[in-house]
Chain A
Amino acid sequence: MNGLEQFGQDPWWIIAIKVLLVFVVCVVLTLFNIWWERKVVARMQHRIGPNRHGPFGLLQSLADGVKLALKEDLTPQKADKIVFVTAPILACVPAFVTFSVIPFGPEVDFFGERTPLQLTDMPVAVLFVMAIASIGIYGIVLGGWASGSTYSLLGGLRSSAQMISYEVSMGLALVTVFLMAGSLSTSEIVAAQHDWWFGALLLPSFLIYCIAMVGETNRAPFDLPEAEGELVGGFHTEYSSLKFALFFLAEYINMATVSALATTLFLGGWRAPLGIGTLWAGANEGYWPVLWFFLKMFFFIWIFIWLRGTLPRLRYDQFMALGWKILLPASLAWIVVVAIIKMAAIQGDFSPSWILFGFGLVVTAVVVLGFLNRMPEKAPQVTKPTGGYPTPALPQGGAVRGAAQPLVFGPDAVQPGSSGVRIISSPEDELSEDALPEEAK
């Protein structure tokens, strides 16, 4: 293992296999993530989720993908044809390209050749990811513009504003990682996390990155570019068939990319999770690191899904205020702190690790406690039914807990009276919505 020297030495067929593997991993990850997201969100909403195609419904996304590809491909009359076709490609290709600098593992024996489990690396690999991601934004913005529809245009504008704003905080969160690792290359950053994961050492940066990566990928609760309540589908309102599938693919690959980047930069990359590496020396050799890498990556993807299943969408001005007024100054201040501590450690010849860890922990605790304290305490609101509107019956015995019951079909399945909508039909309840204004007049 000697830095960047180990890259660019592979014979052509190994590079070809690696390229193919990166492509296959991206596509399979997308299929899996869609299934997983639907399954987890279904559990959170007391449903079962896809369970028809393949074991546990695993082939559901494949079936959906085929269906999507066979749908009619519509091009609106007012669309700008060339840009309309280019946009989904422009969104999709960068998503694949960014995966080329993600290290999946250390140097391994790969069909008889010693080669790192990473397509390539460069002195500016992390900056490269940011650069390629910023090209991916073009796909979304141009797709929104070229559709010739107001909803799409507004969605495209929102997404460009959002991604530019959150890329700034994201980049600044990465600066502290560069400061500590002394390099911008992904493999060297993983090597620098031999003793301390940067997620622990630079806790505030880690949290800022985690927030920014949700904003960067247009995922809930920051999915304003496709807010269906306001913009129908946002930038992809007018897209159908394979073009829409490409946007969909790009979104899920981007989710995987930022998760993989977070793993690489903050959770030690392919290194075995805490303790395993010291107990079992073989954990960081051979193909085992691939397992650790994907476990950590799926942890982040699970957080994405959890957020989507839990949080409502932010209002646009609140979202922008969070990015520019909180995350940006916070990351700038934290960079100054890290630079001072690191410089003092170099001058005073001591290890900055524990000081940084403690400082980061204190700062995070203060911020989180301050945030919790700001929450106003509200008494639970009790409202009496006013009548006149159909009020849904609450589930008997309070809120439903635990997993959903499996679906049962057949004559015994229906239990009357256990659920359903109750419609009040007594005469005094039959108030039209204008009854009150009339009284007031």
Chain B
Amino acid sequence: MSFVILATIMVIAALGLLFARKPVHAALSLAVVMVCLAMVYATLEAPFLFAVQIVVYTGAILMLFLFVIMLVGVDTSDTLKETIAGQKVLAGVLGVGLGAILIAGVGQASIATMRGLSSANEGGNVQRLADLLFSRYVIAFEATSALLITAAIGAMVLAHRERIDPKQTQTGLAQKRVADYAASGKHLGPLPPPGTFARHNSNDTPALLPDGSQSKKSVPAILAGGVSNGSNDVEGDDA
């Protein structure tokens, strides 16, 4: 029963993955498939795999996918233009081939009730898994982890860049600002935000200075009509 519900949701989500126009919607459909897969594991009495599936695939890997896709922007959607010549035909042929293999494979399997679950989970699911991983499959386990670490180090090496100039610290930047002030009188602090102590807070309302005059520096140059930020404050001039 639970399989029927989960399978329905999974198939719908998988179709959504294929047909969604926005990449984020596709990634979300994939997330639904992953979570449903985890629930299938839970119904098959594999609680550890259930938790790990969600933590690793949904929580970490797919989140990184989303991270990249989101930076592309909200409005981008897939174009139907072929970038590789003959891509559609090739994809169709390979898809039909894969489908044929899957149908042949699944058709061979005999579907009956699950067997051996109780003996496999004897003494606790987590404990039995740990027993297997650290005795019979220890070499495969260690090889996989070595492979993953190699991949991580490879990514770091590819992304690594030698620092040419020294790293700027907060102290260094502050000292530089003070030195600039001493040398050329460049204003030390941040510019006054628009609308400070004024009656409006729109971006083109200049801030009021303590003496009641207006600070033109507080209005972005482009709003003030191309007047550069270095100009003096003019009393009564409402930009």
Binding site for B on A (CB under 8 A): 78, 80, 82-83, 122-124, 127-128, 130-132, 134-135, 137-138, 141-142, 144-146, 148, 153, 156-157, 160-161, 164, 167, 183-184, 315, 388-390, 423, 430, 432-434, 436-441
A433 with B187: in contact, given A131-B59, A135-B54, A390-B210 (CB under 8 Å)?
yes
B205 interfacial by beta-carbon distance below 8 Å: no
Q: Are A80 and B232 in contact (CB under 8 A)?
A: no
Q: How far is the CB of A398 from chain B (nearest CB, A)?
A: 27
Q: Are B48 and A124 in contact (CB under 8 A)?
A: yes
Q: Are B60 and A157 in contact (CB under 8 A)?
A: no
Q: For chain B, residues 43 to 84, give those with C-beta under 8 angstroms from any C-beta of chain A.
A: 47-48, 50-52, 54-55, 58-60, 63, 66-67, 70-71, 74
Q: Are A389 and B210 in contact (CB under 8 A)?
A: yes
Q: Are B125 and A123 in contact (CB under 8 A)?
A: yes
Q: Are B125 and A134 in contact (CB under 8 A)?
A: no
A124 with B74: in contact, given A131-B55, A436-B185 (CB under 8 Å)?
no
Q: Are B63 and A124 in contact (CB under 8 A)?
A: no
| Chain A binding surface SS class | helix
Distance in angstroms between the alpha carbons of A388 and B47 in the assembled complex: 69
Closest to A128 in B: B51
Distance in angstroms between the alpha carbons of A145 and B70 in the assembled complex: 7
Residues of B within 8 A of A156 (CB): 70
What is the number of contacts between chain A and chain B, taking CB atoms within 8 Å? 112
Q: Are B50 and A124 in contact (CB under 8 A)?
A: yes
Q: Are B211 and A124 in contact (CB under 8 A)?
A: no
Q: Are B232 and A83 in contact (CB under 8 A)?
A: no
Distance in angstroms between the alpha carbons of A325 and B129 in the assembled complex: 31
Distance in angstroms between the alpha carbons of A432 and B59 in the assembled complex: 55
Distance in angstroms between the alpha carbons of A138 and B62 in the assembled complex: 10
Q: Are B55 and A134 in contact (CB under 8 A)?
A: yes
Q: Are A141 and B66 in contact (CB under 8 A)?
A: yes
Residues of A within 8 A of B170 (CB): 315
Distance in angstroms between the alpha carbons of A389 and B52 in the assembled complex: 59
Q: Are A437 and B185 in contact (CB under 8 A)?
A: yes
Distance in angstroms between the alpha carbons of A430 and B192 in the assembled complex: 17
List 15 contacting pairs A-B, 8 Å CB cutoff, sorted by A. Answer: A123-B126, A128-B50, A130-B55, A131-B38, A131-B54, A137-B59, A138-B63, A142-B66, A148-B74, A156-B70, A315-B170, A389-B210, A433-B192, A433-B215, A440-B185
A160 with B47: in contact, given A83-B24, A432-B211 (CB under 8 Å)?
no
Distance in angstroms between the alpha carbons of A430 and B232 in the assembled complex: 15
Q: Are A135 and B66 in contact (CB under 8 A)?
A: no
Q: Are B217 and A122 in contact (CB under 8 A)?
A: no
B33 interfacial by beta-carbon distance below 8 Å: no
Q: How far is the CB of B67 from chain A (nearest CB, A)?
A: 6
Distance in angstroms between the alpha carbons of A278 and B35 in the assembled complex: 45
B209 interfacial by beta-carbon distance below 8 Å: yes
User: B170-202, CB under 8 A of A: which get 1 and which 0?
Assistant: 100000000000001111000010000000000
Residues of B within 8 A of A153 (CB): 70
Closest to A171 in B: B55
Q: How far is the CB of B223 from chain A (nearest CB, A)?
A: 19
A184 with B210: in contact, given A135-B59, A437-B185 (CB under 8 Å)?
no
Q: How far is the CB of B123 from chain A (nearest CB, A)?
A: 11
B17 interfacial by beta-carbon distance below 8 Å: no
Distance in angstroms between the alpha carbons of A134 and B62 in the assembled complex: 11
B233 interfacial by beta-carbon distance below 8 Å: yes
Distance in angstroms between the alpha carbons of A156 and B24 in the assembled complex: 14
Q: Are B126 and A184 in contact (CB under 8 A)?
A: yes
